[in-house]
Amino acid sequence: MLHRPSDLFVYESDALTLLRGRPCAVVFPETTDEVSAVVRLCNEYELPFVPRGAGTGLSGGATPVEGCVIVECSRMTRILEVDATNRCATVQPGVINAHLSEFVAPLGLHYAPDPSSESACTIGGNVAENSGGPHTLKYGTTSPHVLALEIVLPEGSVVHLGRGDGHHLGYDLRGVFVGSEGTLGIVTAATVRLVPIPERIEAVLASFPALVPACEAVSAIIAEGIVPAALEMMDDRTIAAVEASVYAAGYPRDAKAVLLIELDGTPEAVEDECVAVERICRAHSAIEVRRARDAEERQAFWRGRKGAFGAMGRLAPDLYVHDAVVPRTRLPEVVDRITRVAEGYGLRVANVFHAGDGNLHPNLSFDQRDPEMLSRVRRLGEEILRICIEAGGVLSGEHGIGLEKRDYMRLLFGEEDLEPMRWVHDTFDPEDRCNPGKAIPSPRACTESNPRHRGAAVVRF
Ligand SMILES: Cc1cc2nc3c(=O)[nH]c(=O)nc-3n(C[C@H](O)[C@H](O)[C@H](O)COP(=O)(O)OP(=O)(O)OC[C@H]3O[C@@H](n4cnc5c(N)ncnc54)[C@H](O)[C@@H]3O)c2cc1C
């Protein structure tokens, strides 16, 4: 257990460093029984607690509620069972996403959801956030890959939701739990689907003289009936940051946008789709269309994309990785509008997006020691959300609501929509002890002075 202020310092935030809170202690259980014992003690002493995996979350989901106990699951790293015949595995929540795929690769299998943070984030965090990733376009987010969960409920008892064979009976409480952002209990084991490693994988890198034709190429690829495994876009600022970093991938530095398109499946189908994708990109003014020569070059293409946020970390002391979704066809105008609005705030945006899903990540580099700059970042962040919602989009594609966007839920939902979400919450956690104050805004009449919400984390925007 950690309790000294100097030790607690690193737990003040997750990867969204804009928001901070102070826990009173951090504990590191290794078994379900230990999680249950900690939760029961928190109840006895009326302490809020916050589940935490690797702390790579980008919406403040694991930001400490003032005075809480952090239940850090990163030492629960055992792969409990692999069932190759039925293509599933049961793991503890602290297993790192990429480690699971590495572990089952000799069986010709992998775990499909692959957030760009896959080398650090945990399966427990992925379940809580219903995480996406570059391959969401073809394989879906985390939820369809979760068959069953073992949960420690907020009062300390252990329950099992879902079934390993996928035949859920009654209400789908497994589905309710996935994406609940650590507010309904703590995952202590997850049974997840494994899928075969595709027979053939090809990656195509297409560079464009502007973002608009690149976005149009994305819509044209989908309109042709092709569903690439991944369809990712990076703009010129992202390309420059990546190419100046250890993640340099050989992206053309003079391009205004690059598309990274991965196709997988049977050799014949992949070949046909590659030819079609290359044709479509050229028809949309691509400057260069390049197929990865071999697996090594394909991995280099991905290293650049997956390292893009890390590469931007070199540009300024702080990085705000934003996350919102718009209909794919509205991407060009929305990106253009965000760029212009950002210029009005004197801020520069670097765009990386899961273009196939319309999932934008406008990234703002800044220095939070400058309060005036911090205020501009906060206001621009809100404006980006408003622009995306006006265009028919939603608040988050994959990073969740957490603390960051909790109060923006009202941009999309009325009280009549939020109230059933509160019923679900209160059924699991009537004392509001498990990660309180996250994801769902309190009823308007309910202030932070309400004793049931005393633990609500401080928003230090
Ligand atoms: C460089 C970078 C790239 C990223 N790329 C992506 C991406 O492509 N797609 C994507 O979706 N996200 C991405 N993320 C965000 C983040 O990695 C994911 O949200 C991830 O699922 C968080 O996992 P974690 O283990 O770090 O969880 P944490 O950050 O520790 O926690 C996240 C949430 O899960 C809850 N939680 C954690 N463990 C448990 C548990 N055992 N039981 C119940 N609740 C729990 C916490 O309370 C919190 O609400 C990225 C982040 C970074 C820094």
Q: What is the pLDDT of residues 264-309, one digit of tens each?
A: 999 999 999 999 999 999 999 999 999 999 999 999 999 999 999 9
* Residue 444: band (very low, low, confident or very high) from pLDDT cuts 50, 70, 90: confident
**What is the distance in A from the centroid of ligand 1 to the CA of 125?**
4
Question: What is the predicted pLDDT for the residue at 64?
Answer: 97
SS3 431: coil
Q: Which two tokens stand for residue 28?
A: 């590191």
Share of residues in the chain with pLDDT > 70 (%):
96
**Ligand 1 pocket member 56 (CB < 6 A):** yes
Q: Residue 293, exposed/middle/buried by CB under 10 A (0-12, 13-18, 19+)?
A: exposed
What total of structural domains would you count in the chain? 4
Q: What angle do CA 389, 393, 399 make, to 5 degrees?
A: 100
Is 458 inside any structural domain?
no
Q: Which atom of ligand 1 is nearest to the CA of 142?
A: 11
Identify whether residues 246 and 381 lie together within a single domain: no
pLDDT digits (tens, 9 = 90+) for 103-160: 999 999 999 999 999 999 999 999 999 999 999 999 999 999 999 999 999 999 999 9
CATH code for position 333: 3.30.70.2740
pLDDT digits (tens, 9 = 90+) for 160-202: 999 998 888 899 999 999 999 999 999 999 999 999 999 999 9
pLDDT digits (tens, 9 = 90+) for 30-73: 999 999 999 999 999 999 999 999 999 999 999 999 999 999 99
Q: Does the pLDDT of residue 453 top 80, yes or no?
A: no
Q: Does the pLDDT of residue 80 top 50, yes or no?
A: yes
Is 293 inside any structural domain?
yes
Cα(162)–Cα(373) distance, rounded to whole angstroms?
47
Identify whether residues 13 and 141 lie together within a single domain: yes
Q: Does the pLDDT of residue 97 top 80, yes or no?
A: yes
* Residue 348: band (very low, low, confident or very high) from pLDDT cuts 50, 70, 90: confident
Share of residues in the chain with pLDDT > 90 (%):
92
Identify whether residues 127 and 159 lie together within a single domain: yes
Residue pair 158/184 in contact (Cβ under 8 Å)? The answer is no
Is 78 inside any structural domain?
yes
Mutate to test the pocket of ligand 1, among 36, 117, 187, 359 (most ligand atoms within 8 A of CB): 117
Q: Which of 308, 325, 354 is the last residue of a domain?
A: 308
SS3 324: strand
Identify whether residues 165 and 47 lie together within a single domain: yes
Question: What is the predicted pLDDT for the residue at 355?
Answer: 92
**What is the distance in A from the centroid of ligand 1 to the CA of 340?**
31
Residue pair 206/258 in contact (Cβ under 8 Å)? The answer is yes
Q: Does the pLDDT of residue 213 top 80, yes or no?
A: yes
Is 460 inside any structural domain?
no
For the residues 365-389, what does the mean pLDDT come to? 95
Identify whether residues 278 and 340 lie together within a single domain: no
For the residues 2-13, what does the mean pLDDT come to? 95
Identify whether residues 145 and 175 lie together within a single domain: yes
| Between residues 440 and 452, the one the model is more confident about | 440
Q: Does the pLDDT of residue 6 top 90, yes or no?
A: yes
**Ligand 1 pocket member 65 (CB < 6 A):** no
Is 459 inside any structural domain?
no
Q: List beta partners, residue 234.
A: 258, 352
**Ligand 1 pocket member 60 (CB < 6 A):** no
Is 461 inside any structural domain?
no
- DSSP class of residue 355 equals G
* Average pLDDT of the chain, as a whole number: 94
Question: What is the predicted pLDDT for the residue at 166?
Answer: 85
pLDDT digits (tens, 9 = 90+) for 115-129: 999 999 999 999 999
Q: Does the pLDDT of residue 443 top 90, yes or no?
A: no
**Ligand 1 pocket member 359 (CB < 6 A):** no
Question: What is the predicted pLDDT for the residue at 228?
Answer: 97
Identify whether residues 28 and 136 lie together within a single domain: yes
Q: Does the pLDDT of residue 457 top 70, yes or no?
A: no
**Ligand 1 pocket member 436 (CB < 6 A):** no
Q: In what order do the strands lie in the sheet with 186-193?
A: 79-83, 88-91, 186-193, 146-152, 158-162
**What is the distance in A from the centroid of ligand 1 to the CA of 448?**
26
Is 395 inside any structural domain?
no
For the residues 203-214, what does the mean pLDDT come to? 96
Q: Which of 152, 175, 197 is the last residue of a domain?
A: 197
Question: What is the predicted pLDDT for the residue at 448?
Answer: 45
Q: Does the pLDDT of residue 214 top 50, yes or no?
A: yes
Identify whether residues 218 and 363 lie together within a single domain: no
Identify whether residues 446 and 430 lie together within a single domain: yes
Q: Does the pLDDT of residue 454 top 50, yes or no?
A: no
**Ligand 1 pocket member 429 (CB < 6 A):** no
Identify whether residues 188 and 206 lie together within a single domain: no
Which amino acid belongs to residue 298? Answer: R
For 156-174, letters b (16+ CB in 10 Å) and e give: bebeebbebeeeeeeeebb
Question: What is the predicted pLDDT for the residue at 445?
Answer: 60
Q: Does the pLDDT of residue 456 top 70, yes or no?
A: no
**What is the distance in A from the centroid of ligand 1 to the CA of 253?**
31
Identify whether residues 17 and 44 lie together within a single domain: yes
Question: What is the predicted pLDDT for the residue at 446?
Answer: 53
Q: Which domain, by its residues, includes 188?
A: 1-197
Cα(354)–Cα(398) distance, rounded to whole angstroms?
10
Identify whether residues 279 and 366 lie together within a single domain: no
Q: Which of 243, 275, 308 is the last residue of a domain?
A: 308
pTM: 0.94
**What is the distance in A from the centroid of ligand 1 to the CA of 141?**
13
Q: Which atom of ligand 1 is nearest to the CA of 15?
A: 53
pLDDT digits (tens, 9 = 90+) for 312-331: 988 999 999 999 999 988 99
Is 396 inside any structural domain?
no
**What is the distance in A from the centroid of ligand 1 to the CA of 56?**
5
Q: Which residue has the tokens 């189908």?
A: 269
